Chain A
Amino acid sequence: MSIIDTDVHPNPRNADEIRKHLPAPWRDGFAMPRRPFYHNPIHANRLDATPPGGGPAASDPDFLREQLMGTYGIRHPILIPRTFANIHPNPDYGSAVATAFNAWLAETWLEAYNDDGAFKGSITINHHDPLAAAAEIDRWADHPHMVQVVTDSGARAPLGQRQYYPIYEACERHGLPFAMHPGTDGIGGNTLPTPGVPTHYIEYHCGMSLAFQAHLLSFLTEGVFERFPTLRIALLEGGVAWLAPLLWRLDAYWRALRKDTPWITRPPSEYLDEHVRLSTQPLERPGRDEHLLALFDAVGAERVLMFSSDYPHWDFDSPTRAFPSSMPDPLRQRIMHDTAAELYGL
């Protein structure tokens, strides 16, 4: 089976690969970004993902091809650099970091390492400056291997609000999906979707799906898909099993509270089905497979779910082992390939 992996994280070999794309005054002070806390206490990357020739995990394209594409038959990894462009108090610096990572990705993984065109990229934006973000989308939209726009789920406001609309206008203008991925929640002035600050990594990491629920409620209730009828959204690494009960609640409240948001003319779940796709990793695995398959059935998994591995991160999902073996083959085909192929035009 040909597989599209919708969440793969390439890394630069060193900070200089990014620094060279940064102008003054940002160049001199640049260091590879990371969260200052909430570090995984065990390990952050698969230990076997360190390239034999050295360097960070997922910095060697040949080893990534062998370990991810060769082992599992993945045809297209969708590349999402971990830029942390949204943690900087200065919006100009954040936008410069986004631009530098985009230039690096285009130069390396999408060109020098990409003779066969297997690697597809994501245009990183800094959502703290929506106008600069829109200009960044315009800058890269015509690149033949850039297939979406991506940003962090950690934000200062729910992403369905109107201050972000220049971003969605640009996505629509170029026919690019808008994706969000965890990473900056609670850091750099970005709020957490919890009442306060979690203590432990396990608490923070498990709670990341809460941000996706909050942003999704915002998109669905603000009328984003009425304003931008061709916009598509990809929720990456935000969890899957919560979706059905959230939609049941939202559809029920919409029946009662329709005139609170009268621009929502259909059950919210119908907008989701048409506009939103979710990546599967880290897939929840209840004790009984039929419980997960029932939740899949409830959300139309054959239309909304896309496989992702999160390579090289520690909670990697194996294409051959992450899903229940009893999952029907037609659904597997949709999740492993077809839905992502449709979203990204592959």
Chain B
Amino acid sequence: MTAHAVARLDELPPGTRKIVEVDGRSIGVFNVGGRLHALRNTCPHQGAPLCLGTVGGTMADGAPGQYVPAREGEILTCPWHGWEFDLTTGRSLVDPARTRVRAYEVTVDGDAVILHA
């Protein structure tokens, strides 16, 4: 695990993302409402560039016919087949134990966004 300065904080305001290359790995760094997340930019399903997907929420498990919006800003949806991943853990919503993508720690040091990868 190495600390990589991958952006200045003002380059990554809330609602934006940056795709970076670190030691041959493509990683997406996200700022969602001031919280920073980083995930490997490869969907485990068919290899899509996962971090080009939509950041938003999902629907909570519910009774038939009920839609309960949930977890706004915590879900990354794959740009190809729509599989949903938890931005904080990299785990998919439908199969969290086995279908997951690597999540990395992101910290801020002064003005620098530090990716630990």
Contact = CB atoms under 8 A, between A and B. Distances in A.
A46 B54 CA distance: 11
A318 B80 CA distance: 10
B54 A43 contact: yes
Interface stretch (A100-108, A122-130, A210-218, A309-317): A309-317
Nearest to B43: A321
B82 interface: yes
Contacts of A42: 77, 82
Contacts of A40: 82
B52 A47 contact: yes
B61 to A, nearest CB: 16
Contacts of B48: 46, 48
B interface, over-half SS:
loop
Contacts of A318: 46-47
Contact of A321 (B47, B49, B53): B47
A48 B49 contact: yes
B47 A314 contact: no
Residue of B45, B46, B52 most packed against chain A (CB within 10 A): B46
Contacts, number: 35
A316 B45 CA distance: 12
A322 interface: yes
A283 to B, nearest CB: 10
Interface in B7-44: none
B73 interface: no
Interface in B47-100: 47-49, 52-54, 77, 79-82
A322 B46 contact: yes
A interface, over-half SS:
loop
B26 to A, nearest CB: 13
Given A43-B79, A46-B79, A48-B79, A317 B49 contact: no
Interface string A29-53: 0000000000010110011100000
A314 B82 contact: yes
Contacts of B46: 316-318, 321-322
A42 B53 CA distance: 11
A315 B47 contact: no
B19 to A, nearest CB: 11
Nearest to A47: B79
B28 to A, nearest CB: 12
Pairs A-B, 8 closest by C-beta atoms: A47-B79, A42-B82, A321-B46, A318-B46, A48-B52, A48-B79, A321-B47, A46-B80
Given A46-B80, A48-B52, 16 more contacts: A42-B82, A43-B54, A47-B53, A47-B54, A47-B80, A48-B80, A314-B81, A314-B82, A315-B80, A315-B81, A316-B80, A316-B81, A318-B46, A318-B47, A321-B47, A322-B46
